[in-house]
Amino acid sequence: MMAALSAARKGVSVTIFERNDRIGKKILATGNGRCNFSNRDFSVAYYYGNREKLKGCFSRFSMEDTVHLFEAAGMLVKDRQGYLYPWSDQASTLLDIFRLELARHKVEICLDSKVEKIIRDKKTGKFRLEPCISIREYEAVILACGGCAAPKTGSDGSGFLLARDLGHRMVSPVPALVQLRCSDSFFKAIAGVRCEAGLTLCQESGKESMVLQEEWGELQLTDYGISGIPVFQMSRTAARALEQKKRVVVYIDFLPQMEEQDFQLYCVKKLQSFSPTLTMTIEEFLTGIGNKKLNHLFIKLANLSPGQPVFQIKKKELKRLLYSYKKLKVHVAAANSFENAQVTAGGVDLEEVDENLESVKLPGLYFAGEMLDVDGRCGGYNLQWAWTSGWIAGEEAAGKAIRSGIAAFP
């Protein structure tokens, strides 16, 4: 939609081919239905991909340009600590703004029109689309088919097949911004717990452990593993490591606000504050420290039972029990599937497009959005990439069409 709008604003004739019965279906699901369309806290460091190339792209169409464009189109913007949304808090508002703008710029929209093949005439350099949706030929084509994430919204990876057919190399797609499945048997017992936690993702080999990523935020424990924003943020790194057959673990710190020593000291003081003659159980002692389900799990993992008197427990055992609060190790078996993922890591290799996002293999072919091997952190960065890359591809494709003598709209 952004690519079409940017091309049409240059005055060329533009057609969108959309396989669904409406455009922009995925937008409606973004930001929990509110569409977190960008973020004022912006840096290329929040993206994976060729950052030098990305820097060039974002300098051409930035977060500020996005806000300006939507505001100029009549949409009020809400800023929640830097996270940007339509003022209405409805993703459908942003989609409606696009629909109005596309109509105003006379963009033709062909719905229920899945493109199966793209053919470029070697002599004329023009493109035809199959199945033969229209007999027209096009000066330029922009592939903006998304990746493989959330295939129900239309992006089922068919764009990657089109790119491959046209001779493009693909960085293997893996799910990103997704939950992680763990092989530990205790997850059913702690499912439903939500808490602030610090997470350290590591790859292990023998006794060696290498830290891959650290995150902090609200962790959600499910019956199959771990979820929540900090997990989403590290999921693409975990998925890549798993793809390379590495052993992947996450250490969970359930008390990230306290150093381990301070926590041990706190527990010693808590213990001393009760009379040793008191018949206090471990369960009672742990009350007030962690979530009840977690307290029970950690007692079990330390081979103790909840009813044991706390003053009879050996120091070493208690230390082991308390260690779980600071460094519970969970084993990652897999990232959840593309059905659950918000984005795709991987796609058309950025080395195979120039700074205008034009294919270096097929002049006249452009790429935008998740089709390219670019993915960002959670927080509006993936949509910002869609806007930036769409804008550039649209402008450049229009320029190409104009240079080849296509009559512009009056």
- Asked if 150 is part of the footprint of ligand FAD (rule: CB under 6 A), the reply reads yes
Nearer to ligand FAD, 95 or 297 (CB): 95
Least separation in angstroms between CB 38 and ligand FAD? 7
Tokens (6 digits) for 323: 């260690």
The residue within the footprint of ligand FAD, chosen from 4, 140, 144, 201 (CB under 6 A), is 144
Contact region with ligand FAD (CB under 6 A), list: 149-157, 212-220, 286-294, 298-306: 149-157
Contact region with ligand FAD (CB under 6 A), list: 146-154, 208-216, 247-255, 355-363: 146-154
The residue within the footprint of ligand FAD, chosen from 249, 255, 267, 386 (CB under 6 A), is 386
Distance CA 238, CA 215 (A): 13
- Asked if 18 is part of the footprint of ligand FAD (rule: CB under 6 A), the reply reads yes
- Asked if 383 is part of the footprint of ligand FAD (rule: CB under 6 A), the reply reads yes
Strand partners, 150: none
- Helices (H) then strands (E): counts for the chain: 13, 19
Distance CA 240, CA 242 (A): 5
Radius of gyration of the CA atoms of the chain, in A: 26
> Per-residue contact track with ligand FAD, 240 to 269, x per CB under 6 A?
------------------------------
- Asked if 215 is part of the footprint of ligand FAD (rule: CB under 6 A), the reply reads no
CA atoms within 13 Å, Cβ hemisphere of 171: 22
Nearer to ligand FAD, 94 or 249 (CB): 94
First to last CA, the chain: 22
- Asked if 380 is part of the footprint of ligand FAD (rule: CB under 6 A), the reply reads yes
- Asked if 19 is part of the footprint of ligand FAD (rule: CB under 6 A), the reply reads yes
Least separation in angstroms between CB 93 and ligand FAD? 14
DSSP 307-337: TSBGGGS-HHHHHHHHHHHH-EEEEEEEEPP
The residue within the footprint of ligand FAD, chosen from 7, 8, 13, 36 (CB under 6 A), is 36
Nearer to ligand FAD, 91 or 401 (CB): 91
Nearer to ligand FAD, 197 or 393 (CB): 393
- Asked if 381 is part of the footprint of ligand FAD (rule: CB under 6 A), the reply reads yes
- Asked if 139 is part of the footprint of ligand FAD (rule: CB under 6 A), the reply reads no
> Per-residue contact track with ligand FAD, 64 to 103, x per CB under 6 A?
----------------------------------------
- Asked if 200 is part of the footprint of ligand FAD (rule: CB under 6 A), the reply reads no
Distance CA 305, CA 307 (A): 6
Nearer to ligand FAD, 174 or 383 (CB): 383
Least separation in angstroms between CB 275 and ligand FAD? 54
- Asked if 146 is part of the footprint of ligand FAD (rule: CB under 6 A), the reply reads yes
Q: What torsion do the CA atoms of 4, 9, 12, 16 make, to the nearest 10 degrees?
A: 20
- Asked if 145 is part of the footprint of ligand FAD (rule: CB under 6 A), the reply reads yes
Distance CA 202, CA 330 (A): 10
- Asked if 369 is part of the footprint of ligand FAD (rule: CB under 6 A), the reply reads yes
CB contact set of 357 (below 8 Å; sequence gap of 6+): 57, 366, 367, 368, 372, 389, 392, 393, 396
- Asked if 20 is part of the footprint of ligand FAD (rule: CB under 6 A), the reply reads yes
Strand partners, 39: 83
Least separation in angstroms between CB 26 and ligand FAD? 4
CA 147, 149, 153, 156 torsion-angle sign: positive
Distance CA 322, CA 267 (A): 9
Q: Check if the beta carbon of residue 92 is closer than 8 Å to that of residue 98.
A: no
Torsion-angle region of 49 (φ positive above 0: left; ψ -120 to 50: alpha; else: beta):
left
Distance CA 163, CA 325 (A): 48
- Asked if 154 is part of the footprint of ligand FAD (rule: CB under 6 A), the reply reads yes
Of 282, 222, 290, give the one whose Cα is nearest residue 258.
290
Nearer to ligand FAD, 25 or 293 (CB): 25
- Asked if 347 is part of the footprint of ligand FAD (rule: CB under 6 A), the reply reads no
The residues of the shown chain that bind ligand FAD, judged by CB under 6 A, are 17-20, 25-26, 29-31, 35-36, 114-115, 144-146, 149-150, 153-155, 158-159, 342-343, 369-370, 380-383, 386
